[in-house]
Structure 1
Amino acid sequence: MKAQGVEGRTVLEVGGGIGAVQIELLKAGASRALSIELTPTYEDVAAGLLREAGLADRVERRVMDFAEAAAEVDGADIVVLNRVICCYPDMPKLTGAAAGHARRLLVMSYPRRTWWTRLGLGVSNGVLALMRREFHIFVHPPQEIAATARQHGLEPVLEQTGVLWTVAALGRASSQTA
C-alpha cells in the first residue's frame, strides 16, 4: 500500500480488529481512518492502542455489518479487507461493497484455495460446530473475488501468494497513474 502512496489518503478498513493496519497506515502518512467491525470485541483494546499511538483523533470506529449497511459509510481512498473475506458468507456482497467504496485502491487478503487450506479450515469448522459456535470460515474462489472487484471498476495492481494467504491490491484505472 505504501508503494501506491498513502500520504494524505483516507483509509476504510472493514474487519479492522484492534486497528493495527490503520495505525501503521496513519504512521505512514494517511490522514484519517474509519474502522468497521462486526462485533464490539476489539473496541476497548483498539481505543487503548490508538491513545498510546497518539492517533485517537484521526480514527473513527463503528460496529456494524458493513455489507448490510454500506450506504451509511462514505468512500475512502484506500479500502482494506485484511483476513475478513473468509469470515463472511456472502463474499460478493462484502467485496462489492468494499470495491464500491474504494476511490483509489482496494487491498484484500484471503486464504489460498489449496487442498491443505481447505482441509485445515474444514477441520477448524468442524471443531467450531462441535463447540456450537455460529462462526464459520470460508474459502471463496479467488477468481470470483477478483471478478467482483472488477465489476466495480477496479483492476489488479498486485498479487502476492504465500503458503496460506493471498494478498491482492486492485486500483481504479484513473488513479493508477496518479
Structure 2
Amino acid sequence: MDECCAPPPADGFDREFDARFAARLARRYRREGLTPSAHLILDFADSVGLDGASVLEIGGGIGDIQLEALKRGAARTTNVELSSSYEPIAAELLDEAGLRDRVTRVLGVDVARAPAAVDVADIVVLHRVVCCYPDYRRLLGAAAARGRRAVVFSHPGHTLWTRIASRSINALYTLTGNPYRSFAHDPRAMEAVLVGHGFAPRYHERRGPWHVVGAVRA
C-alpha cells in the first residue's frame, strides 16, 4: 500500500497537534475569534441555513467553528477528532459558552474508514483537514455520505511552491522520526469526489493560503 492511500499512523496526529498547539489555538480564538478562513466556512454554512441544523465537523480541533455555528442557530454539533490533545481545551471552551449539552465529541474514529460510526448531519465541515489525510477520495466520500444538505472544506493552494513545501516538510518529518505527513491534493480532483457523490460545488472563496469550497446536494 503506497503512502497516498495508507491510513495515517495512530500517533501522528497526537504528536503534531499536541496540547501546546491546542492551547495556542484557544488563546487566539478567545482573543480574536475565528480565523479569516474559518469565517468563510461558517459564512457558507450560514448561507445554506444554520438555524435548527445539525453540523458534523471532521477534525474540528478545539471546536471553535462549532461554537460559532451554535451561536448562529445550529441545533447540535458533532466533532470527530483523531488527536486527544484538543479535548481538555475544547471542554473548557464549551463550559465557558454554556453549550456543552449541545455538542458531541467523538475521539479516535477515522471517519474515512468508518463513516457509519457517526450520524448523518445537515452540514459537514472539514477545515484544514484534507491536507492532513493521505486518501482524500475516501475522506471526502465519507463526508459526502454523512451530509444531508452540504459539505464545506478548505485546502491550501496547489501551486508548484506549495507542493515543494509539502515535500520538504515531509522530508524533515522523516529525518526527525515524526510520523505525521502533509499532502497537497489536486483541488479539481477533490471537488470531483463530491460531484460523484451528488453534490454541486457552489462556493469558492480564499483567505490567505486557504481555499474554501462549499458544495450543496444537487
- Same fold by TM-score, threshold 0.5 exceeded? yes
Which of 155, 160, 173 matches 1:115? 160
Which one has a larger percent strand, Structure 1 or Structure 2?
1
Which AA in structure 1 matches 2:55? V
* 1:9 and 2:44 matched: no
- For 2:193, the equivalent position in structure 1 comes to 148
Which AA in structure 1 matches 2:117? E
Which one has a larger percent helix, Structure 1 or Structure 2?
2
Q: So what's the TM-score if we normalise by structure 2? A: 0.77
How large is the RMSD of aligned CA atoms in angstroms?
1.1
Which of 70, 74, 79 matches 2:115? 70
Distance 2:207 2:159 in 1: 11
Distance 1:28 1:144 in 2: 32
Distance 2:203 2:165 in 1: 26
- For 1:39, the equivalent position in structure 2 comes to 83
Determine helix, strand or coil for the equivalent of 1:110: strand
Distance 1:18 1:127 in 2: 27
Q: CA deviation at 1:123?
A: 2.1
Which AA in structure 1 matches 2:136? M
Which of 167, 171, 191 matches 1:126? 171
Q: Which 4+ runs in 1 deviate beyond 4 A?
A: none
- The size of the alignment, in residue pairs, is 173
Which AA in structure 2 matches 1:15? G
Distance 1:161 1:25 in 2: 20
Which of 63, 83, 87 matches 2:132? 87
Q: So what's the TM-score if we normalise by structure 1? A: 0.93
- For 2:104, the equivalent position in structure 1 comes to 60
